[in-house]
Structure 1
Amino acid sequence: MKFSEWPYERADIQKAERELEQLMEDFRAADSGEEQFEVHRRYYALEGRVRTQEVIARVRFDGDMTNAFYEKERQYYDEMMPGFRALQAKYQKLLYESPYRDELEKKISPARFHAMELKFRANDERLIPLKKEENELTNRYMKLIAAARIPFDGRELNISLLRPYMVNSDRQVRFAAHKALAEYFDSVTGEIDEIYDGLVKNRTAQGRLLGYKNFTPLGYERMGRAWYGQKEVEQFRNEVKEWLVPFIGKLNEKKRKRLGLEKLSYVDENVYLPQGDPAPVGTAEEILKAGQTLYRELSPETGKFFDFMLEHELFDVEGRKNKRSGGYMNYMPDYKAPVIFANFNGTSGDADVITHECGHAFQGYVMRDEEVRELTENTMDCAEIHSMSMEFFTGKWMELLFGDRAEEYRQVHLESFLQFIPYGCTVDEFQHIVYENPEMTPAGRKAAWARLEKEYKPHLDYGEDSFFAEGGFWQKQHHIFGLPFYYIDYCLASVCALQFKVQMDEDFEDAWSRYLKLCRLGAGLPYTELLHAAGLKTPFEKGCVKELVEKLEQKLF
């Protein structure tokens, strides 16, 4: 059955809460770890049923944010899920405090029990009213961005459909497209400032309600960071400033000469070749068909995965009006099925869906028969390794997507991959500054962003574009609004993926076997042990970034 045909029935959250209350009674009454795990199996079924229906509703609403029925369903889950998650946290606390914990740890894993502590605080029931307000503010931002209508080239475009013009080989077209984007954000910056101000104050209130000085510790707990904290992240960012930023400077000088320019402008940020960056060849259907060939050749496991995705039409990838911007993978436990959401727009970003998002989905597919659900609950720092590494493992099949420009794509992909890390660190440090100074004004936030850009991306030249020059660029980064402190996970995972890249260039089969091992380990080990099991260094290890830069410098210069 195809995803569009899968039945949707609103999950009755109040009924689910009553079922969960009964499960808790049964769990308390159990006389052994085995009996408690039998109750826990029932919990998996209940959680999976609720999650499956919620995901179906959200994906269908994201596909058309004017759909009144699914908008009402999304509002229902935004209203009801905080209470259900708080009750889930109570249930997990019973699991955590079980007198038979030793027996349960053998079935589930000690690492997951350690991670539960963070969930308890992040889902404290006292936060429910504030979380509901937070959801409303986040969705207000998402709807504002999705509703963007930017006049350009005789058409009305959303942000995704404007992007091809922003990377056009004609520099004047790029200038015009960036100007149009800046004008749109300038026209709504007051509303965005108001939304974000509300989010910062709301999240600060959540942190303080739990006894923290600000939101940051709670933000880390939400991300499930049980194995490292702010100190380690700051150390990583400092290594990026010390080693990667100067290296990026050399790459930019190389790019400037390649483009034949006297000076790089911010409109050249995502352009790498004078003839224009390569774009995938073919329609959305043809790109997906090429992806099928790619994954069948990569390995038996990836071939079965991609066949499954196509058979059930689990790709919603065509860009259209009223569709939410961005892309993601989600998972529906009752169907043991990933689903991929994206916006194809004729740029190399379309290929990223076939590589990056499929990396997420493949790992979910690999773990689809795992009974112990906790082992499938990857924290984002691990999940992004699966996706970002897949971008490199699929590299040698890019002829299927880019034809005779495949080598150009591989060059551009590696350079842009490296360029991203300082930007991701900018997003992360910006959020630390904001939440440590919750009374900061909108103007102060923009000034902080502008200062960080000079540290992490000193080459940026906004010219006469005052909106971006004065620090407005962050307002287009939806993770800042909907997923606080998430973005650094992309950077940490990038360093891990680049290690795989260096290794696969030496021995592809060995690197792939260790990647497959990483996917199959799921969330069963602490972060550092998980990386070491796959033959990777943790990004926090002193000298990790330096060593990686030295190896890449030999490859690129």
Structure 2
Amino acid sequence: MIHKKTRKYIPQDLDIKWETLEPIYSELLARPINSANELEQWLQNRSELEAALEEDFAWRYIRMTCDTANAELLQNFQYFATEIEPKTAPYSNELNKKLVESEWINQLDENKFFIYLRGVRKALELFREENIPLQTEIQVEQQKYQGITGSMSVHIGDKEYTLEQASALLKDTDRSKRQEAWEKITARRLQDKDKLDELFNHLRSLRHKVALNAGFENFRDYMFQALGRFDYTPQDCYAFHAAIETEIVPILRDQAEKRKEALGLEELKPWDVDVDISGKPALKPFKDGNDLIEKSIQCFSNINRYLGERLEIMKDNNLFDVESRKGKAPGGYNYPLSETGAPFIFMNSANTFRDLTTMVHEGGHAVHTFLTADLELNDFKHCPSEVAELASMSMELISMDNWNVYFDNEEDLKRAKRDQLFDVLKTLPWVAVVDQFQHWIYTNPDHTTEERKDAWIRIYEPFGAGFVDWSEHPEAEQNLWQKQLHIFEVPFYYIEYGMAQLGAIAVWKNYKENPEKGLQQYLDALKLGYTKTLKEIYETAGIKFDFSAGYVRELAEFVKNEMDKL
């Protein structure tokens, strides 16, 4: 069993409410600091407080997403968002000021604190008192997305399915069954399209106000600063989109033609893209959620005993919720528990191959959480998404050589690897579309709902539009963006998947060439947390932080060659 770290500053049994927190914040703010050592001690005490708050918030979020219909759990989450965060925010800003104005700040080890202090100065630059109530409202409003989507279900035959469970039927070899499942899923999504449009319009308006208050022309430019994107610009993102369009889309178009030919179809429809073209039934890598966890522990152990032990620890401490059910929020995540030093994995398993890849993806995040658990300050663990997603996406590929624990049959194993590598390439255009769409949304803040639909189609089409014929389902295509949780809940967190996907291919290439060295470089990079720049972390992993057309082409060719071997 694992337990929270022993606290050295705040009370062990601290009840998380403002009345108990305010005296601690006041003490930190008023405390005299008379040396560099005392400044470091002050930073550690502040870090301990922030870790306790983060873990408390984590459990409120986890419990709410596990049961979106439970009003009490929603209320507990909203209490933190409305009663605690708005009151801690001004204190955090004052503590940041106290830090940067300290006469001892220049005596801190620059090698250790450079990244952290850079982030503190950026937070001070962006802080506006008038944004606190807006950010509170945004936090509460964006959770409505999970309430709306978590309640969606469909009836197929005499059975009720969550949308995640129903999507498994899109792999059925009977085309009429696939079509029925797709049409019912789509009709259910469209039933709430106006509700989701209304929610998003409100979120867009609130976010634009935040940006204007902070002195920015638009929310896109504000978020690039707020996300700490010190290493690339919006123009770099547009260049990456273009590289994906020129280097990846032609490969996928060729794959779509082969799919059409193999299935004997004139045109691919939206329900034709997930079925296996071999004509064989969908892959079944595990029986149920518990079997998925056990097999994943074995898979990770076969790569490296340390990795498997991390998942065993999580299982022993009930840190998984993997089965799909009605009332559970959609999607999947790994949520770090800052004081405990372990994470919680949440997902919606419907016993599909995709669930296997979700588990190893979130498992990569989980390993990252364990590797950074003992870093000195809580902020050192707050990795940018370009690093966090490198951890997870690399694990998807590294783990493939041990997928025999999921598949007894050699041909099934080959199919699984082919599907995974195809998904790696397929991810990139979708990332480019979602990112470019968000650039458009927030640099055109006064757009109408109809203009947004038109923009989505205009952006989606050059990237292949899924390589299917949408002519009979224009409304479904126009509203496809609504299924992407990130657009509602974590705006602009998406291009990182593309950058990390390239990095993951490079990590896997190194691993294929020298498994021991490749794995060690990967783990060494993750151990750094966010104590080095993106470029330095990627270099530690033995790869480049680069998303030029040439690099995209080089790595895409490597993946295509590996697919051809299978």
Give the TM-score of the pair, scaled to structure 1: 0.94
Match of 1:460 in 2: 468
> What do the CA deviations read for 1:168-209 (whole angstroms, capped 9, x no partner)?
232222211221122122221111111111111111111011
> Secondary structure of the equivalent of 2:343?
strand
Deviates more, 1:185-194 or 1:117-126: 117-126
Paired with 1:407 and 1:85, the residues of 2 have a C-alpha distance of 51
Q: What is the count of residue pairs matched by the alignment?
A: 551
Shift of 1:363: 0.6
Residue number among 179, 182, 204 corresponding to 1:175 in the alignment: 179
The Cα shift of 1:345 comes to 0.8
- How many Å separate the matches in 1 of 2:100 and 2:554? 40
- One-letter identity of the residue aligned with 2:551: C
Aligned partner of residue 335 in structure 1, secondary structure: coil
Distance 1:443 1:119, change over 3 A: same
1:148 to partner: Cα distance: 1.3
In the aligned structure 1, how far is the partner of 2:125 from the partner of 2:407? 47
What residue number does 2:116 align with? 112
For 1:436 and 1:370, the matched residues in 2 are separated by 38
The worse-fitting range, judged by mean Cα deviation, of 250-259 and 401-410 is: 250-259
Task: Confirm whether residue 156 of structure 1 aligns to residue 160 of structure 2.
Answer: yes
Alignment of 1:272-287 (within 5 A): 272-273=276-277, 274-287=279-292
Instruction: Tell me if the contact between 1:138 and 1:482 (Cα under 8 Å) persists in the aligned partners.
Output: yes
Q: Residue by residue, what CA displacement relative to the aligned partner does 1:421-462 show, whole Å, maximum 9, x if unpaired?
A: 101110010011011111111111111111111111252312
Name which of 13, 18, 33 aligns with 1:13: 18
CA contact (8 A) 2:381 2:529 kept: yes
Task: Name the structure 1 match of 2:6.
Answer: none
Which residue of structure 1 aligns with residue 9 of structure 2? none
Partner of 1:437: 444
Alignment partner of 1:44 out of 47, 54, 57:
47
Q: What's the counterpart of residue 374 of structure 2?
A: 369
Q: 1:271 to 1:453 in 2, by over 3 A?
A: farther
Tell me which residue corresponds to 1:391.
396
Match of 1:527 in 2: 534
1:131-530 matches, cutoff 5 A: 131-273=135-277, 274-404=279-409, 405-458=412-465, 459-469=467-477, 471-530=478-537
8 Å CA contact 1:182–1:468 kept in 2: the answer is yes
What is residue 65 of structure 1 aligned with on the other side?
68
Superposed displacement of residue 526, structure 1: 0.9
Shift of 1:542: 5.3
Give the C-alpha shift of residue 211 in structure 1. Answer: 1.1
Q: Would you say the 8 A contact 2:51–2:378 is kept in 1?
A: no
Deviation at 1:263, TM superposition (A): 2.5
- SS of corresponding position for 2:336: strand
Q: Contact between 2:285 and 2:356, CA under 8 Å: does it hold in 1?
A: yes
CA-based RMSD of the aligned residues comes to: 2.1
DSSP-derived class of the 2:260 partner: helix
Aligned residues with identical type, % of pairs? 25
**Amino acid of the structure 2 residue aligned with 1:234:** Y
Contact 1:179 1:465 in 2 (8 A): no
Counterpart of 1:53 in structure 2 is 56
User: CA-to-partner distance for each residue in 1:83-104, whole Å, 9 max, x for gaps?
Assistant: 3244323323432343222332
CA–CA distance in structure 1, aligned partners of residues 462 and 60 of structure 2: 42
CA distance in 2, matches of 1:46, 1:56: 16
Deviation of 1:534 (Å) = 1.7
Q: Which letter does structure 1 place at the counterpart of 2:524?
A: K
- Give the conservation status (yes or no) of the 8 Å contact 1:381–1:490: yes
The gaps in structure 2 that reach 5 residues or longer are 4-11
Q: Contact 1:83–1:125 at 8 Å: present in 2 too?
A: no
Alignment TM-score, normalising by the size of structure 2: 0.93
CA offset at residue 67 of structure 1?
Answer: 2.0
